[in-house]
Amino acid sequence: MNALVTGSAGFIGFHLTKALLSEGINVIGVDNLNDYYDVNLKKARLKNIEQFIRDEGCTSNYEFIKLDISDANAVSDLFVHGKFDVVFNLAAQAGVRYSIVNPYAYISSNIAGFVNVLEGCRAQEVKHLVYASSSSVYGMNSTTPFSVKDAVDHPVSLYAATKKSNELIAHSYSHLYRIPVTGLRFFTVYGPWGRPDMAYYSFTEKILNGETIDIYNNGKMQRDFTFIDDIVEAILKIKNKPPIEVEMAGTHLKTPYQIYNIGNNRPVGLELFVNAIENALGIKACKNYLPMQQGDVPITYANISPLKEKFGFIPKTKIDDGIQQFVDWYLDYRKN
C-alpha cells in the first residue's frame, strides 16, 4: 500500500508516519516547514523518523518532500507520480488565536491547499482520503457531549470556519466524484513531540523557567484532551475501512462520506490539567487568572459512540499518564 501524509513534519503527521511505516506501508510525507512555530522541532521530527526506520529495520519505502499544498502545480505533480492508495491530509495552518492575526495563511493552506489535495485525489482516483477537521467546528455548542449530528453552523474563529469549509468541500467532492472520504474532528491532541503553541507545552516551558502561566476564563475551562497514541490508533483503524455510499441524513443523497469525533470522551478541567503538569515536573506553577480569550470556547467534549461501534475504538491513556510521557520527552528534548 502507498500512502501520502501531508503535514508529515507536524505533530500528528509525524506520529502517523512512523505508525504507517511500522505496518509496512510505503509513505511519502510532505510539509512546507513553515515558521508558525520552531522549524527546528519539525526538522527534529524528520530526523527522528529516519532514526526510527534504521532502529526498527523498516522495510517499507519512505520519502520526504518539502512542498506547500497551496502550490497547485506541485500537488498535481505529486499525485501523478505518487500513485497513492490512501491519502492523509493533516497539513493545515493551525491555531485559533493566530487566525485572528493572520487570516490569509488559513485561506491559503486550509482551503486552497485542501482543494488541491482533493483535486489530486479526484484525478488519480484515490481509494480513501482521510483528512483532519477539528473540534473547533462545534463553537459555543451548548449540548454535550458534542455529536457529529449536531449543527455546526456558528464558528467562533476563522480557523473553525476553514475546518467547517473543509467538511463541506470534501462532501461535495465525495458526492460528485465518488471519492471515499473520512473527516476526523480531533479533540485537543497532546503528547510527546507536540506543538509549542499548545497550552500544555507552553505551561511546561514556563513552569520550568519560573514564569507565570496565564489561566483563561479564570480556570473554568474544560478540554477533551486526547493522547497522541490514541489518535493514531483510531486513524489506523479507520484507514482500512473507507466509507461506503450511505444516505446522508435528511436527504436522498448516497455518498461515500463520513465524519467522526476522535476524543478522549472525558473532559478535564484546566486546573486539574495544570495540576497534572505540576505533579509531573515536581514544581508548583505561578498562575495569572484572566477572562476568556476571543475565539475560545469554555468546553470541548466528544461523543465517540460511532467510532466505538464501527471500529471498537476506546481511548486508553489517562491524563496523568499522558502528561508524564510528554514531560519526560520534553525534558529530554530540552537537553538537546
**With bands split at pLDDT 50, 70 and 90, how would you rate the model's confidence at 295?**
low
Spot the catalytic one: 131, 159, 260, 301: 159
Helix (H) or strand (E) holding 258: strand 257-262
Q: Is 11 left (phi over 0), alpha (psi -120 to 50) or beta?
A: alpha
Contact 30, 8 (CB under 8 A): yes
Return the C-alpha torsion angle 147, 14, 112, 236, nearest 10: -40
Just give the CATH number of 2-189+226-265+301-315.
3.40.50.720
Give the strand pairing for 2-6 and 26-31: parallel
Give the residue with greater pLDDT, 202 vs 220. Answer: 202
C-alpha–C-alpha distance, residues 24 and 37, integer Å = 31
Determine the average pLDDT of the residues in 65-72: 98
Question: Where are the alpha helices (H) located in the chain, listed in sequence order?
Answer: 11-22, 39-56, 72-82, 98-101, 103-106, 114-124, 158-177, 199-208, 228-239, 270-281, 305-311, 319-335
Beta bridge partners of 27: 3, 62
pLDDT digits 0-9 by tens, 8-21: 999 999 999 999 99
159 is catalytic: yes
C-alpha–C-alpha distance, residues 152 and 313, integer Å = 24
CA distances from 209 to 19, 215, 285, 334 (A): 34, 17, 10, 12
C-alpha–C-alpha distance, residues 100 and 103, integer Å = 6
Q: Does the model's pTM come out above 0.85? A: yes
pLDDT digits 0-9 by tens, 240-264: 999 988 777 777 788 999 999 999 9
C-alpha–C-alpha distance, residues 39 and 37, integer Å = 6
Determine the average pLDDT of the residues in 120-130: 97
C-alpha–C-alpha distance, residues 194 and 333, integer Å = 11
Question: What was the pLDDT predicted at 294?
Answer: 73
The grid coordinates of residue 212 equal 507565570
- The proportion of the chain whose per-residue pLDDT surpasses 70, expressed as a percent, equals 100
- The proportion of the chain whose per-residue pLDDT surpasses 90, expressed as a percent, equals 81
Return the C-alpha torsion angle 318, 322, 324, 325, nearest 10: 140
Question: What was the pLDDT predicted at 138?
Answer: 93
pLDDT digits 0-9 by tens, 130-159: 999 999 999 888 888 999 999 999 998 999
Give the strand pairing for 86-89 and 128-134: parallel
C-alpha–C-alpha distance, residues 235 and 189, integer Å = 13
Which of 106, 250, 244, 238 shows the shortest CA–CA distance to 164? 106
Give 223's Cβ-side CA count (13 Å radius): 25
Which of 283, 269, 113 shows the shortest CA–CA distance to 209? 283
**With bands split at pLDDT 50, 70 and 90, how would you rate the model's confidence at 100?**
confident
C-alpha–C-alpha distance, residues 226 and 321, integer Å = 12
Positive or negative CA dihedral for 12, 136, 40, 27?
positive
C-alpha–C-alpha distance, residues 220 and 293, integer Å = 12
Question: What was the pLDDT predicted at 13?
Answer: 98
Which residue in this structure is represented by grid cell 489517562?
Answer: 318
Q: What is the mean pLDDT of the chain?
A: 94
Cα angle for residues 76, 4, 131 (degrees, 5° grid): 95
